[in-house]
């Protein structure tokens, strides 16, 4: 088998876990994915099978689109609701116009300091491994690009946004930095990836449905990689 398999990842499983379950179910010798999602996140995971694994750098380097839910008034050590609360403020004074202006300030090329709870390495050790021991180390800021950021809904204290961004953008950090900009603190409360360009999530199947397919049916779901 060769091709791209579009998976709508459920919450509660790692991206590696998705790949591993598909690999074991269909006995796939070569399989990988084109950009991981946090276990709590849902949405599009592009699984590459066989010859398609050669195209991992292209998918990893491409733009991604997300729909994010952000909770104002709460700051956590992980920058999402799974973490320990480290700050709370009343966000009642935030107006829709102030929120829209703050979101607009993140459009374009920006700098982000990667979160401690991330898979980046410091002297060969994953940052999240250090963070779990209560260790914080300096992280250089990285330049990323937010091409589009759109306010979908504001039902205080919850904000819903659509974000189109470059590789390496942490939506958790975007939520955290939005809270800092507004002076209320904030964290990510839900995340769904809606596209890994050029693939949209609407063309994906949920993982449980994919696991029910026969090998021939799975073959029919694979999108062929371009010829080289």
Give me 95's structure tokens. 């107006």
Distance (Å, whole) CA 47 – CA 203: 13
Clarify whether 38 is annotated catalytic. yes
Tokens, residue 169: 């953008």
Task: Note whether 200 and 45 are within 8 A (CB).
Answer: no
Catalytic: which of 2, 8, 20, 38? Answer: 38
- Among 128, 115, 35, residue whose Cα is nearest residue 75: 115
Q: Which residues contact 132 (CB under 8 A, 6 or more apart)?
A: none
Half-sphere exposure of 223 (CA within 13 A, CB side): 14
| Cβ contact 221:110 at 8 Å | no
The residues annotated with a catalytic role in the active site are 38
């Amino acid at each position: 088998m060769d091709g791209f398999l579009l998976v709508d990842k459920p919450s509660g499983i790692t991206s590696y876990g998705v790949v591993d379950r598909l690999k074991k179910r269909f006995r796939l010798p070569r399989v990988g994915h084109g950009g991981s999602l946090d276990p709590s996140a849902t949405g599009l995971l592009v699984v590459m099978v066989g010859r398609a694994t050669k195209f991992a750098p292209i998918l990893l380097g491409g733009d991604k689109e997300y729909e994010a839910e952000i909770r104002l008034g709460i700051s956590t050590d992980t920058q999402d609701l799974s973490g320990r609360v480290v700050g709370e403020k009343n966000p009642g004074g935030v107006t829709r116009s102030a929120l829209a202006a703050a979101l607009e300030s993140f459009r374009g090329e920006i700098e982000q300091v990667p979160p401690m709870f991330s898979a980046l390495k410091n002297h060969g050790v994953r940052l999240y491994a250090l963070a779990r021991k209560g260790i914080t180390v300096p992280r250089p800021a990285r330049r990323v690009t937010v091409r589009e950021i759109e306010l979908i809904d504001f039902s205080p204290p919850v904000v819903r946004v659509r974000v189109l961004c470059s590789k390496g953008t942490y939506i958790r950090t975007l939520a955290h930095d939005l809270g800092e900009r507004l002076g209320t603190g904030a964290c990510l409360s839900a995340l769904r990836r809606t596209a890994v360009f050029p693939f949209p999530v609407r063309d994906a199947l949920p993982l449980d449905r994919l696991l029910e397919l026969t090998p021939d049916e799975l073959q029919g779901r694979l999108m062929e990689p371009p010829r080289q």
